């Protein structure tokens, strides 16, 4: 019985639904000649597309298309890979996949799990872990900037940055370990090897990579923006203005929006996932009450909360009282996540806006350009997409842990006398954290979590 990794795998590698072309992909550590003979009825030349019929068990054509063979190790997975390009009807592709399973029974072929082709590429050294993740990010990219940045990560931009940090860290570790191994030499390690200077330089380089990685994570994850406030302050109008389309119903009737309405837009290539929510108020309407409850759930999960106010009602006792109640409930939301927006500037003016507040008119467009920039500033965006590589939150957290251990290493090395054993341990821990990004060091659970989120056939 072959192990999971030794068994050949097969899957439909194109998206579900009908299309002009569909692909069935097979990957195997073993020779695929028996499978090729059964389906293609002829041998294939490596990396050369051959037009032929795909045969069923009786020798009848299931379809006609292109067959390509990529012998190991010159393939996506590093194994022998067969790709059958047929017409993109779901029934045709299912028949072709079933034929692969039938013809490959002697090879113990099985259906691929999500992400297993890319996982094999990683395990066979064709991609490191950051590049493997970039494959999924490139497929899922929601903006042009995110797609280009994912392409750079797939080409190894992030891996190169991490690799250079790792090499510098290894050299520093080697010096420390050598000093621990030969204490009789009585070498003043910290001064003669300029360990502190090396460490400071390493920290500076790490900070630069961390900053770029945080920007790349914004390109991938986007920003969750929630529009909140009392009924009829202009939340739905603002959503429509930012999206450039009539997505939400706008009327003078309070409580028109009863559920969350969401839309993704982009600003400077950064995806913004904007949600218009039900107006925050006490109500006897059961449906609206459910919508208000969902509004508070969305607020708790927001990266940026636009707390909207109506300039035409500022100063009215009942309106001010409701705003104060909302503000009280927002006390648990960090202040840096809240942006105060005063709408309807075309109908009224407010002298002396609160600190950080923004004057806006969804009707005339006043303040919209500034709002777009403020949204990016709220989450720390300060880069241009060109030159960035896509990144994930786990990359950011790994770099932060690396930095924490480097800071501790600097602290113990600064003691009199320096605690070289503790210095060496902190450098080791920072090295381990850095290795998690590219997979130089990673737990099986981490690999399973990453590749399980891929689509079948990739």
Annotated binding site for (6S)-5-formyl-5,6,7,8-tetrahydrofolate: 25, 83, 126, 458
Spell 310-346 as b/e; 16+ CB within 10 A means b: bbbbeeeeebeebbeebeeebeeeeeeebbbbbbbbe
Per-residue DSSP letter, 46: B
Q: Provide the annotated binding site for Mg(2+).
A: 236, 257
| Whether 149 contacts 396, CB under 8 Å | no
Three-point CA angle 306, 310, 316, nearest 5°? 130
Beta 338-343 vs 304-310: how paired, if at all? parallel
The DSSP code sequence of 241-257 is HHHTS--S---SSTT--
Binding-site residue numbers are 25, 83, 126, 232-237, 251-257, 276-279, 343-346, 458
- What residues form the annotated binding site for GTP? 232-237, 251-257, 276-279, 343-346
For residue 170 the two structure tokens come to 């290894």
Binding site residues for K(+), as ranges? 232, 251, 253, 256
**SS3 (DSSP) at 310:** strand
Q: Which of 31, 13, 5 is nearest to 106 (CA)?
A: 31
Cβ–Cβ < 8 Å for 117, 12:
no
For strands 19-28 and 261-267, give the pairing. Answer: unpaired
The tokens of 457 are what? 């056939």
Contact 181, 305 (CB under 8 A): no
Is-contact 275 260, C-beta < 8 A?
A: yes
CA–CA–CA angle 299, 304, 310 (5° rounding): 75
For residues 431 and 170, the answer to whether their CB atoms sit within 8 Å is yes
Q: At what angle do helices 157-181 and 129-140 cross, to 10 degrees?
A: 160
Q: What is the torsion angle, in degrees rounded to the nearest 10, for the CA atoms of residue 161, residue 165, residue 171 and residue 174?
A: -130
Asked if 225 and 273 touch (Cβ cutoff 8 Å), the reply is: yes
Half-sphere exposure of residue 383: CA atoms within 13 angstroms, side-chain side? 22
Cβ-contact 83, 25 below 8 angstroms: yes
Q: What is the distance between the alpha carbons of residues 93 and 90, in angstroms, rounded to a whole number?
A: 5
C-beta atoms surrounding 194 within 10 Å? 13
Q: What percent of the chain is helix, strand and coil (3-state, nearest 5)? A: 45, 15, 35
């Amino acid at each position: 019985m072959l192990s999971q990794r030794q068994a050949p795998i097969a899957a439909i590698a194109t998206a579900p639904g009908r299309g002009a072309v569909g692909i069935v992909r097979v990957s195997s550590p073993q020779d695929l000649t028996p499978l090729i003979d059964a389906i293609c009825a002829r041998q294939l030349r490596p990396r050369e597309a051959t037009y032929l019929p795909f045969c069923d068990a009786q020798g009848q054509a299931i379809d006609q298309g292109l067959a390509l063979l990529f012998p190991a190790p010159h393939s996506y997975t590093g194994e022998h890979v067969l790709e059958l390009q047929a017409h993109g009807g779901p029934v045709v592709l299912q028949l072709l996949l079933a034929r692969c399973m039938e013809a490959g029974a002697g090879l113990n072929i099985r259906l691929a799990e999500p992400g297993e082709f890319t996982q094999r590429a990683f395990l066979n050294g064709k991609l490191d872990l950051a590049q493997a993740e970039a494959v999924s990010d490139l497929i899922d990219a929601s903006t042009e900037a995110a797609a280009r940045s994912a392409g750079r990560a797939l080409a190894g931009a992030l891996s190169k940055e991490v690799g250079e940090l790792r090499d510098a860290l290894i050299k520093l570790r080697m010096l420390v370990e050598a000093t621990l191994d030969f204490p009789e030499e009585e070498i003043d390690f910290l001064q003669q090897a300029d360990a502190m200077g090396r460490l400071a330089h390493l920290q500076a380089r790490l900070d630069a990579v961390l900053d770029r990685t945080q920007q790349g994570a914004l390109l991938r994850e986007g920003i969750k923006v929630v529009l909140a406030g009392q009924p009829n302050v202009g939340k739905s109008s603002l959503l429509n203005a930012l999206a450039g389309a009539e997505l939400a119903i706008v009327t003078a009737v309070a409580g028109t929006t009863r559920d969350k309405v969401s839309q993704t837009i982009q600003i400077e290539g950064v995806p913004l996932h904007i949600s218009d929510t039900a107006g925050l108020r006490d109500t006897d309407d059961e449906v609206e009450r459910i919508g208000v409850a969902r509004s508070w759930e969305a607020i708790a999960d927001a990266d940026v909360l636009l707390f909207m106010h109506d300039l035409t009602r500022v100063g009215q006792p009942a309106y001010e009282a409701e705003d104060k109640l909302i503000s009280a409930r927002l006390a648990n939301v960090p202040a840096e996540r809240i942006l105060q927006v005063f709408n309807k500037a075309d109908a009224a003016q407010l002298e002396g806006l609160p600190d950080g507040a923004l004057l806006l008119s969804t009707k005339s467009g006043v303040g919209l350009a500034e709002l777009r920039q403020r949204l990016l500033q709220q989450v720390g965006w300060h880069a241009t997409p060109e030159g960035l590589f896509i990144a994930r939150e786990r990359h950011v957290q790994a770099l932060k842990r690396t930095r924490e251990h480097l800071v501790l290493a600097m602290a113990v090395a600064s003691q009199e006398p320096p605690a070289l054993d503790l210095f060496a341990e902190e450098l080791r821990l920072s090295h381990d954290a850095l290795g998690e990004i590219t997979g130089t060091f990673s737990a099986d659970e981490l690999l399973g979590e990453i590749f399980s989120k891929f689509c079948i056939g990739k």
